[in-house]
Structure 1
């Protein structure tokens, strides 16, 4: 089915709207981030929500107009006092009055006689703006509106205020908004009639009108019925998309696996520790998924060091019992190598064939490994996304495990290529994700959570200090390193950037080298993978005591002997990032510490972030706090990864609606999987309206 004809007015290019020339169209296309080679469309304007409302309804006499109030006055214009010639800095003043008093209207740099034309002497005008005082006289500097009495209706008494961009005036935008809102068609209703009545929500078109062209400021408030309705709609379209993806993923029938229990038992015996309650529960959930005829699509959440890899190993061992292979995919070769290092000795002891496949390996070695994978001799293959490229043929791939999913959105899950198409899917993440975000981004997956830390993990002492204490910090660090400790020193940027006075990693390295000589090494994102690996290797082997790094070390570096983490400019990092970085220490037997160095005066948010990190090591608590402090856009780095950033819903205010939307979408697809008939058509309209057409082809016939 193609897009319903009724939506055409909202999908027309802004270019085609009266009053939009090439320049404005290009500006709006940039502002709304339209896809490459496409124009911004009317829908972009409709979905551009006001950030507030100006209330001009206070129509009083001058005598009752108070300082800093926004008022609308009906004035009689008395005289003009233009600035003397050559004195441009003196304003043009207009004196006016009503029955109750006098007021001056003030205009700076008012050239070209337009003030005289707008406010002719002896005539009446409505003027709206903010009251100020100057030398004891009331005045309005640069009134927002000046209109003739017969055009009073054109003065917006309740005026939404929008986020703007350079070159876009609020007047031009307001004009566009009015035209677009007037063109919103009557759409089929996708919310159940009973629900609408119970929540007292308006229709979609009426809600848009109340938000963009309100009669009273309350209509446009974030918690008002109109905005709630629109937030729900946006969530609903997102949840419907995820449910469709789930039904597609799960409906590609999986295989009901049968386990003998032998291999998992031998893996359990060779583990150097016993599994935690959380790990055992996750393993059980995964086994139940594998044993059912539906495909598994599960998210395994666990904080840094919660032992996700071992749970994955148990799943892969169970898969081997049923005669199938598993693939473990990591985002980088460095991480793939690290997983392999963890798994290989255990697999060898348990008699499981485990191989690492990377892009860098010599051709002969690669050929031998590919042969093992194709024959089935290799049961577990570890690598990067390259595992799913052509030339890698599996004998019988049953399970795909993906590490670090936030680089792995909905589209990637759908595109796991044919090799991974019918396999069970387990996605592991070390970013503890708050429940709201799990619903938003992984609503198509079942979730297992590992909450407790494995035994033997040391608590980490966290302190916050000003960079002014640098000399003391270095002296203390020297003493610890002389005692045999190893430390990370993390800097935010690689090279000096003019507008941020950040001591770059290279400068910091040079400074520290004066004290520590060849005991200190540098690793940053601009280095080649081989160079990075070489430095990390020396650090892991304890040849280097101090590693100065940018955030490349954030994910998955494992050096148990490193017990000190110093984060410079900690105020520039997000909570999740600070938490990830801190998780790089505390992995060995030594008591570990983390030092957060900040510069200058901290903003409230930065202060709250550092306090949170200091007070807790629970990643899930930190993630919830992060969501409150930052809003949802960035907790997962979603801005970059094409995850749904919201335009109508504001998670802090509308979070409760996400659950409703999730349940409603689920119920709808259970009731009507083909989205046929009237309610099906209405739901499809919602998907087009919120540009989720990615999901349309997934709707199953009948």
Structure 2
């Protein structure tokens, strides 16, 4: 096809090469509209003759590949729903014993067209059992022509659907194959980078990814594209960091003899070496005339709040205001109470020796109108130095006199628009930003997602934090069930308090009745907050125990009232959902019971466990499960039981969740640009890409040296990802 000099093959509409009908089908099924989007629809695996299994040796429940000839086909309507089942009987082509196997396709329109009697094809799927015989249910298949049978090559298996099956995808991709040229698919990675890692050029790698002569060629090509994504992402993050360096912020240097110094002087404990070191990093950042953009991560109870408060006081001393944004009213109120307590007399305006106090205010959505009006007035006038709040801080009616620092607690719970709205309140000069998280972040995630942030980590817990013992409680054993409840009453009798966390809030009346009536044999049932409270209320040993329930469906005032009562010690046992996962700080709580713990993730379990042992008293976490000890989900609980190292658990959590959301897709609301890069498999690639980008950007005028790379870098991420990077 003739092209002009400005023609871009990857930007071309699919209809240009594949026709309107095929282009429309690809858009409906996958959302693709351009050639470039379709080219990155890579196979998820490949099948080849070397993997073939004779039908007579098929292992049940395994994934297999067979080459067979269709000997019979039939079709029948489904009774329970609309549609039909297309059944294919095949005979083994790999051996001469004539073994047969059935294949089943639900609404198999394409299979009905392709798989006629006499056709030889390669089938791939999981071996199942139906009506006393083995079968493959909804297998992938590829029809083998004479050339393919004579010279077998790996057959790509793509992400597909009933309306866009594998064979059609392969056929459409084959139409584009002749266009895989250096002219149509120009290389943009620097030549020296390609040579350093022995990567192919783009057009050759694409050919090997879709049409490999050997499977190993496809995976070598996959490495190249995974590296390309890592490299371009790191370049985008580096550019974001460069832009931050050119933006203006008001420098907030330390002022001797004022709030910050007075606070340090009155601290009843000694800061750890890590707290001091991280504090010095942040303090230095605040003296710069470009905005600080730092991520502070540390275990629950590692002392992040003290570090953040010292930074806040430095900004206030320098004439600015600080805002601490928390995701929930409970957490905002906890921060308010703990910070007021830490500051003591410094939380009120006035003279104290050489220093001054400052007003600390709380602003939440549930605050009464008069309180909100008074608080907003203090913020606008500059009288209030520290404002702690929830989304209420983002409202148009909240205006700051001189916002110098934004502290965001648990960043992953906020959308980019919300954080950006608060920063916009600082006027022309951007505020410094400190992001805190108690969820340890694996190194590769930090490099991939927060590559443009300076990262500080506090690993060591302060003195006085008691160790937490963690145990799995097998509920199918009567003795363990009895011991669970007696441990709860033992802690209460010592004057301590107990959390009981359940996976859900309530059951239907019928379900709850069955659960409570047959609790001794309720394996497989999921405990709810309401059912657990009713169960404890009905047990004789809990008659004198003060028990309350807490969950997200309560209104804010009721939740706060219950949390305040628990904090005062007026409640012995708090039965709750994960609403207490973050920020709830009750030093007298020593026992955490997590019902049906296999229903929670590793990070969530670690966060919940961190709610106890916070006041110098030893903490215990009991994770209950009805599952057998060899169940895969119990392996997750054993991981939690074996270590309290949050960073080790973060790695385990990442491996369990697979890719997860490495670009904050839940915040941008659409798909990420990443297709090949895996933060689990590609850790070495990510680190190498980061090093290569650092070397590249240290070159003067690198954009002029690599104009193709500069051009692609500006358009590489999609709009939603670009917005995410720009607003973080």
In structure 1, stretches of 5+ residues that fail to align are 30-38, 84-88, 133-138
Which range moves more in the overlay, 637-646 or 41-50? 637-646
Question: Cα distance 1:7–1:347, how it changes in 2: closer, same or farther (>3 A)?
Answer: farther
- Show the counterpart of 1:135: none
From 514, 533, 537, the counterpart of 2:538: 514
1:312 aligns with 2:308: yes
- Distance in 2, Cα, partners of 1:455 & 1:96: 69
User: Is the CA contact (8 Å cut-off) linking 1:406 and 1:636 kept in structure 2?
Assistant: no
- Distance in 2, Cα, partners of 1:81 & 1:220: 35
Deviations 1:312-356 (A, max 9, x none): 111111112222221111112221111111112343523222212
- Kindly state the Cα deviation for residue 426 of structure 1 after the two structures are TM-superposed: 0.9
Which range moves more in the overlay, 633-642 or 392-401? 633-642
| SS of aligned partner of 1:6 | coil
- Show the counterpart of 1:543: 570
From 437, 441, 455, the counterpart of 1:429: 437
Question: Cα distance 1:13–1:571, how it changes in 2: closer, same or farther (>3 A)?
Answer: farther
1:688 aligns with 2:705: no
User: Is the CA contact (8 Å cut-off) linking 1:319 and 1:398 kept in structure 2?
Assistant: yes
User: Is the CA contact (8 Å cut-off) linking 1:82 and 1:91 kept in structure 2?
Assistant: yes
Q: Which has the higher contact order (CA 8 A, sep 6+)?
A: 1
- Kindly state the Cα deviation for residue 603 of structure 1 after the two structures are TM-superposed: 6.2
Normalising by structure 2, report the TM-score.
Answer: 0.79
- Distance in 2, Cα, partners of 1:42 & 1:513: 64
| SS of aligned partner of 2:660 | helix
- Kindly state the Cα deviation for residue 525 of structure 1 after the two structures are TM-superposed: 2.2
Mapping of residues 360-439 of structure 1, within 5 Å: 360-408=366-414, 416-420=422-426, 422-439=430-447
Mapping of residues 594-673 of structure 1, within 5 Å: 594-601=621-628, 605-633=632-660, 646-671=674-699
| SS of aligned partner of 1:652 | coil
Question: Cα distance 1:467–1:40, how it changes in 2: closer, same or farther (>3 A)?
Answer: farther
From 435, 460, 474, the counterpart of 2:485: 474
- Kindly state the Cα deviation for residue 91 of structure 1 after the two structures are TM-superposed: 8.9
Which range moves more in the overlay, 545-554 or 641-650? 641-650
From 171, 175, 189, the counterpart of 1:175: 171
Deviations 1:103-146 (A, max 9, x none): 466667999998999556xxxx76545899xxxxxx99999455
User: Is the CA contact (8 Å cut-off) linking 2:471 and 2:621 kept in structure 1?
Assistant: yes
- Show the counterpart of 1:355: 361
- Show the counterpart of 2:131: none
**What is the total number of aligned residue pairs between the two structures?**
661
Which range moves more in the overlay, 191-200 or 476-485? 476-485
| SS of aligned partner of 1:489 | strand
User: Is the CA contact (8 Å cut-off) linking 1:237 and 1:692 kept in structure 2?
Assistant: no
User: Is the CA contact (8 Å cut-off) linking 1:244 and 1:698 kept in structure 2?
Assistant: no
- Show the counterpart of 2:462: 454
Deviations 1:407-457 (A, max 9, x none): 246666655542246111111111111111111111111111111112211
Which range moves more in the overlay, 13-22 or 373-382? 13-22
- Kindly state the Cα deviation for residue 646 of structure 1 after the two structures are TM-superposed: 4.0
Question: Cα distance 1:525–1:635, how it changes in 2: closer, same or farther (>3 A)?
Answer: farther
- Show the counterpart of 1:35: none
- Distance in 1, Cα, partners of 2:376 & 2:124: 75
1:563 aligns with 2:558: no
From 182, 191, 194, the counterpart of 2:192: 194
- Show the counterpart of 2:130: none
- Kindly state the Cα deviation for residue 406 of structure 1 after the two structures are TM-superposed: 1.8
- Distance in 1, Cα, partners of 2:315 & 2:450: 24
- Kindly state the Cα deviation for residue 640 of structure 1 after the two structures are TM-superposed: 6.5
User: Is the CA contact (8 Å cut-off) linking 2:154 and 2:214 kept in structure 1?
Assistant: yes
From 198, 201, 204, the counterpart of 1:203: 201
| SS of aligned partner of 2:691 | helix
- Distance in 2, Cα, partners of 1:25 & 1:161: 20
Deviations 1:621-670 (A, max 9, x none): 22123223333416998657659584201222211111222233344445
User: Is the CA contact (8 Å cut-off) linking 2:550 and 2:559 kept in structure 1?
Assistant: yes
User: Is the CA contact (8 Å cut-off) linking 1:130 and 1:140 kept in structure 2?
Assistant: no
| SS of aligned partner of 1:484 | coil
Aligned Cα RMSD in Å?
A: 4.2
| SS of aligned partner of 2:623 | strand
